[in-house]
Amino acid sequence: MSDQQQAFLVKANGFVFTLTESDMAQADIVAEANHVYHLIYQHQSVNGKVLDASPDHKTMQVEVHGNTHDVNIKDSLDQMLDSMGYSAAGSKHIKEVKAPMPGLVLSVSVEAGQQVQEGDRLLILEAMKMENSIMIHAAATIKSVLVKAGQAVDKGQVLVVLE
């Protein structure tokens, strides 16, 4: 097993902070009636009510001390997809496809102006002696291809621009 803990990125009303698995293990949360919860964390106690929740988008609206807070929680996969220009919730239109890791472009399967469908392969990237197919996750039109076969790329480098 890995010693590395999963870290969750939490955004609440403009504030951003990270919670680890051990942070959450230290929290004592008790569900009460009608979506009301009692939380004890680091010797502090608070009651809150979940007003609305969207598990698909990993968002919720909570009320604490009479104030409403919009909360968004992202796990490590969501954070990685964001860094690649994707949204795990699929709520934003993707404009760029970025390299998920450093590697070597082995082949490019698309060209500017081409229509692609969800699941189509854009290119093959070799990283750590493994071939990785970079696929499109929604229908789109290719605006430009910024890499070619044989080119080395860095993690986060834009590979393909979409319209």
Q: What is the distance between the alpha carbons of residues 158 and 9, in angstroms, rounded to a whole number? A: 24
**Contact between residue 90 and residue 138 where contact means Cβ atoms under 8 Å apart:** yes
**One-letter identity of residue 78:** D
Q: Which domains does the chain have, with CATH numbers?
A: 7-74 (no CATH), 91-162 (2.40.50.100)
Q: What is the distance between the alpha carbons of residues 59 and 53, in angstroms, rounded to a whole number? A: 6
pTM value > 0.75 = no
Q: pLDDT (tens digit, 9 = 90+) per residue, 86-107?
A: 665 544 567 888 888 899 999 9
Q: pLDDT (tens digit, 9 = 90+) per residue, 139-151?
A: 899 999 999 999 9
pLDDT for 88 equals 54
Q: pLDDT (tens digit, 9 = 90+) per residue, 15-62?
A: 888 888 888 888 898 999 889 999 898 888 999 999 888 887 788 888
